[in-house]
Amino acid sequence: MADGIEIGFGPLEQSGQGPGGSGDLVVFVGDDLSLGSAAREVLGASGADLVARAAASEKFKGRALSALTLPAPSGVGADRLVVVGLGSEKDRAKTDWPALGGFTAGKVAGRTARVVLDWPGTTVTATQAGEFAFGARLRTYAFDRYKTKKKPDADDKSVTALTLLLADHGAAAREGEGARSLSDGVILARDLVNEPPNVLFPAEFARRASELAKLGVEIEVLEPARMRELGMGALLAVAQGSAREPRIVIMRWNGGPAAEPPVALIGKGVVFDSGGVSIKPGGGMEDMKGDMGGAAAVVGALHALAARKARCNVVGAIGIVENMPDGGSYRPSDILTSMSGQTIEVINTDAEGRLVLADVITHVIRSTKPKALVDLATLTGAIIVALGQDIAGMFSNDDTLAGNIHAAGEATGEKVWRMPMIPAYDKAIDSKFADMKNTGGRHGGAATAASFIKRYVEDVPWAHLDIAGVAMSSNASEINRSWGAGWGVRLLDRLIRDHYEAR
């Protein structure tokens, strides 16, 4: 959605230069309630005393991500003073800068504020200020384009305007531009996940992904006739029950040497999953508009990489289908022939995402010969049972790639947990009638689904991220209040930045 925030940067000397009687002044304290030198200079002795007395009255202890709001002292050039807690010295040493930015933006939503990034024992760096701005921008995201009336008690949706004040403000402004490129990618992914399926059908999804051409991304869209030529019998089977034709979008960002093999990012894009003939229960089916969260993450990541002109070659590919029941739907017991030539016995038409991924992965491997491949898919409810809604499941055939993804997850907060892959899981999908079944049964469902995908990746270093618990309806955080989280964009961007970009 359109920005709900404006962020600028300035020197600490501007801390006391706000227009009289308007906006907020934000300062930070630890658990000892000590103010930084810039805040002390602006507030003076009486202001510091006011903070101390208000803190005692309100039992404000300066804990991390807590806040105290009070009228600003006269002469400060603000109408409110917002004191944000940073916690103990140990807490401050491991500050989550995006979370701090998100929390702060939430406290001054719809207002103008000067944010004094200064406190005892810390010199805020340009990078940290950029991460703060990134979190603030994501916190103000809201998907409300289809609301025609505003509730009387709704939060103020006017623009939040922040000026971040710190010593190295020039470098911080440059970091802020990079943070904006990344947040734009996350916001794009959130928008895609939040859209209703009558709007974001396969052709429309393909059109929106194709807009990345404006950033220099090469776009190729495969329509059903071309898919049939390529022998994509698995993906086409999923789509055949819908009146909406499928699409595959190939997005190429060529930021590295021409001869350098790309990193491949593959996304499941089931824009609505009814379950097909194996129809889902009615309760909660409305959430299945988000079954394209993997594809949304790939599009968002390509946006972020292209916007910052990443120095590497990346190919993103998304298979976009709608899984619906009608007289032409594929059925349990059908046998499909995938693009790879491997045959698949259909056990359950609701195990459709892996069929889509199989053909897209085969096409990408044959056409681009990638150095590594990562797929993202809202694939199984089993992964939610195993890991909940705060962490994604990771399956991989390569320890180095798995370790790099884990490190990227720890750095960005989009955490993953590596799950086991053993021969028994692979054996569970053997079929009496075909090369494999599309499901191995209820037990170990996330692992048998990963084993299915593994049969298509050949010898390419590969990781599969099952993001069913984190891509949609996930737990709220300081940087996300949206149903669609845009999960995966930060993780993929960091993975590319740390391990594949030219130095």
- Summarize the annotated binding site for Mn(2+) as residue ranges: 268, 273, 291, 350, 352
Q: Which residues are annotated as a binding site?
A: 268, 273, 291, 350, 352
Instruction: Name the active-site residue from 308, 354, 494, 497.
Output: 354
Q: Which residues pair with 115 in a beta bridge?
A: 26, 164
In angstroms, the Cα distances linking 166 to 103, 178, 266, 410 are 18, 18, 40, 27
Answer yes or no: 244 catalytic. Answer: no
DSSP labels, 401-413: HHHHHHHHHHHHS
Distances (CA, A) of 18 to 13, 27, 167, 450, 491: 11, 14, 18, 56, 37
354 classed as catalytic = yes
Could you give the CA distance from residue 414 to residue 405 in angstroms, rounded to a whole number?
10
**At residue 457, what is the residue type?**
V
The residues pairing with 318 across neighbouring beta strands, listed in sequence order, are: 249, 267
Alpha carbon distances (Å) from 483 to 99, 271, 384, 408, 476: 18, 15, 16, 23, 8
The answer to whether the CB of 423 falls within 8 A of the CB of 400 is no
Q: 317: which strand partners?
A: 250, 266
* Among 92, 106, 99, 25, CA closest to 63: 92
Closest CA to 502 of 315, 371, 313: 313
Q: What is the DSSP string of 360-393?
A: HHHHHHHHH--SEEEEEE---SHHHHHHTTSSEE
Q: Which of 61, 280, 311, 371 is catalytic?
A: 280
Q: Which residues are catalytic?
A: 280, 354
